Structure 1
Amino acid sequence: MALFGSPGKLSGLLLRVGQCSFAAASIGVMVSAPGFFNSTAFWKPSEDNVTCSSKNKKWGDIAKMAPNRQSIIKSDEEPIVPSLAYFYIISYLIASMGLQVLWSFGLACLDLHALRSKRNLQNPILVSLFVVGDWVTAILSLAAACSSAGVTVLYSRDLGYCRSPHIPCSRFQASIFLAFISWFLLAISSHVTFWLLAAV
């Protein structure tokens, strides 16, 4: 059964290359953001950085006191640490995209080998492995992209953290957009392999 994106076909190879490329681009854009590794608002903070102006208070107390949360961050001050939530979500996004890179790159190599040797990869055992791997990877990637997008919208629109020059919000938003594209291509492969499993 020849479907678009089937394993061992040229369309399947192109889908795998696209998945791997966009996932790698998502990681690259995220990591290349200015101050990514030492940004206290988007990476794991230390206890010394949890301050606001001259008052050394936790974010929870500050958020309750501030009538306008966008006025908390000023351009001449260090950004406030909102919480550890974004650190864990961004870590999850990078981990899921890394897993997708490894999975898609491995299957792209397998598709390339099948095309060069003219072998058929559509047997029940291989297709079952493709289905399990594709669906698990797709679910993890979608969960990571959606959670990262949700918290980014919260921090940029509701809390106004993107007004601070210390936080490269555009880079993080671009990284999440690339993650969604990578997931969309993986979703196509997931559905194709599912229908192939039902047909073999």
Structure 2
Amino acid sequence: MSDDRVIDFNDLKNKVKDSDVDKFEQYIYNLYFSVMDGSMTMAEFSRKIFDYMKDNNISQEKFMNIQKKFMERYGMDSEEVERQLKNFGIDPSMANMSNIDLNNINAENIEAIKKSAGFYEKYGSKISPKSCITTYIKNDANEIEVIIDEEKVMLCSSKKINLMDAELNEFLLAYKNMFNKKIRVVLCENYTGYDY
């Protein structure tokens, strides 16, 4: 018997139909409006997503496929979204949710969900994601990480920053000239860091 006659039931189970995406889209919109009118928190939103997956017996892989098709429907590139999340410090592949077996939710899995959702529930109102540009200046005078946030430029170095550095001044002037007005330069020098 040849291999092309073997049916892979996992492929069939994880295959996404348009009706799956339609149902998910309607569900997400209802949740979204509940969050927007304040009747639901982001933590409750996250829990509802997991309830949806469990109630509809959707595997993690199928759920990812539904999300991708949903984004494609609106012209979004899922790879670009993942890159942007990583720019905000969120790595979807490391989000503590990938190892949760939705068909076998237990106290340990629920605790993992609560920890992830709890952070955003507690600090979500204080957090605002931003997209920044980062570059480095490394020469004889300085070793600086440059973080650009619109009209604010942060210069970070574990050493004293030499403001007479020609390369640094050329960079700052070129960036300032893009705006035709003043930029704010913030020095973060002699900093220390540690792994927590």
Bin of the TM-score, shorter chain as denominator length: under 0.3
Higher helix share: 1
Structure 1-normalised TM-score?
0.26
